[in-house]
Amino acid sequence: MEKPYILHMFTPSKNVSPFDVNMAYDAGYQAVVPYTDLSVDQVAAYTQDAIFSRGPTGVRRTGIFLGGRDIGVAYDMMDNVRKAMVQHFEVSVFADPSGAFTTAAAMIAAVEHQLKKQFGLGLEGRNVVLLGGTGPVGSAAAVLASSAGARVRVASHVGLARARIAAETVNARYNATAEPADMSDVKSINALLADAEVLLGTAKAGVQVASAEQLQGCLQLKVAADLNAVPPAGIAGIALTDHGVPLPAGSGVAVGIGALAVGNIKYQVMHGMFDRMLKADRAVYLDFRDAFIYAREKVAAI
């Protein structure tokens, strides 16, 4: 009898995400087991418990998923999990804290696709502004856009200090080149939007970060993507299912991408990452960069 496919879900949070559990089962894992309130220092021991009990054949049917909300903690966990592996007993590992890695990958891939489709441009050299960009998704998106050659500014409505911390963190950890920006008042936001070619709304649900009036000041805007699925829209004028739909803005040429359009790509990407783990002949370690590669392939097929 063949051994079942088992996924061990490690998280520093009190609970694992039901979304992640559903996705893992739907992808083909036959058992999904949560381990909560784990510290970075604990994951090595849990990893070795998981790998040594199944033998070299069983490890191909064993996976580890790293959750939580902090992308830095997830990466530290990934490092410790990798160091705990032993030759012939390595299992596949996928990090996606708070769904941030797959969501950011889907959003940036969708933006890149629209830039090419509508304007014949790539992300390289584009002015990208992340509104409400200090959370997990915003941080991951900042790294991906930066690595693609864009000038990235991370903005927080809390103030410049919060934005500076977020930018400095992703730059130090992931060799990004994000810059902090202030959006704590209307004047600051308007100045920030004036030369933005790409707007990314990554603030928490129900918070509008760019009004219809402010969009009229976006004279260079080409593509805007909004992750807010709770009214009001984070970026005014973008409907949930928009994907390349004209957006009223000062540039006169902008298109919008809505939360459900990004979510559809994210779903496919996350499923694809789990499927890759299940089918891998040897251990793979997957993060937002792998998710971005896969997202680009999915978006190109739309």
Q: Are 174 and 143 in contact (CB under 8 A)?
A: yes
Number of domains making up the chain:
2
**77, 95, 113: which is the final residue of a domain?**
95
Answer whether residue 287 is part of any domain.
Answer: no
Q: Hey, which residues does 225 pair with through a beta bridge? A: 200, 257
Cis peptide upstream of residue 180 (ω within 30 degrees of 0): no
Q: Are residues 174 and 237 in the same domain?
A: yes
Q: Are residues 34 and 71 in the same domain?
A: yes
Q: Are residues 117 and 251 in the same domain?
A: yes
State both tokens at 55.
């033998």
Cβ-count burial 251-282 (b if 16+ within 10 Å, e if not) = beebbbbbbebbbbbbbbbbbbbbebbbeeee
Answer whether residue 206 is part of any domain.
Answer: yes
Q: How far apart are CA 154 and CA 129, in angstroms?
A: 6
Q: Are residues 133 and 114 in the same domain?
A: yes
Torsion angles phi and psi, residue 245, rounded to 5? -85, 135
Q: How far apart are CA 49 and CA 176, in angstroms?
A: 35
Q: What is the pLDDT of residues 99-117, one digit of tens each?
A: 999 999 999 999 999 999 9
Answer whether residue 293 is part of any domain.
Answer: no
Q: Are residues 41 and 20 in the same domain?
A: yes
Q: Are residues 114 and 230 in the same domain?
A: yes
Answer whether residue 25 is part of any domain.
Answer: yes
Q: How far apart are CA 291 and CA 96, in angstroms?
A: 9
Q: Are residues 113 and 88 in the same domain?
A: no
Identify the CATH number of the domain in which residue 63 sits.
3.40.50.10280
Identify the CATH number of the domain in which residue 125 sits.
3.40.50.720
Which helix (DSSP H) or strand (DSSP E) does residue 262 occupy?
helix 259-279
Q: Are residues 74 and 171 in the same domain?
A: no
Answer whether residue 55 is part of any domain.
Answer: yes
Which helix (DSSP H) or strand (DSSP E) does residue 21 occupy?
helix 18-27
Q: Are residues 160 and 50 in the same domain?
A: no
Q: Are residues 107 and 61 in the same domain?
A: no
Q: Are residues 78 and 187 in the same domain?
A: no
Q: Are residues 125 and 251 in the same domain?
A: yes
Q: Could you please report the per-residue DSSP string of 61-111?
A: GEEEEE-SS-HHHHHHHHHHHHHH--TT---EEEE-GGGHHHHHHHHHHHH
**50, 79, 95: which is the final residue of a domain?**
95
How wide is the angle at C-alpha 144 spanned by C-alphas 266 and 245, nearest 5°?
55
Which residue intervals of 179-225 are DSSP H helices? 186-193, 212-215
Range of the structural domain that residue 151 is part of: 103-262
Quote the pTM value: 0.94
Per-residue pLDDT of the chain (302 residues; tens, 9 = 90+): 688 999 999 999 999 999 999 999 999 999 999 999 999 999 999 999 999 988 878 889 999 999 998 888 999 999 999 999 999 999 999 999 989 999 999 999 999 999 999 999 999 999 999 999 899 999 999 999 999 999 999 998 888 999 999 999 999 988 899 999 988 888 888 899 999 999 999 988 888 999 999 999 999 999 999 999 988 999 999 999 999 999 999 999 999 999 999 999 999 999 999 999 999 989 999 999 999 999 999 998 77
Answer whether residue 190 is part of any domain.
Answer: yes
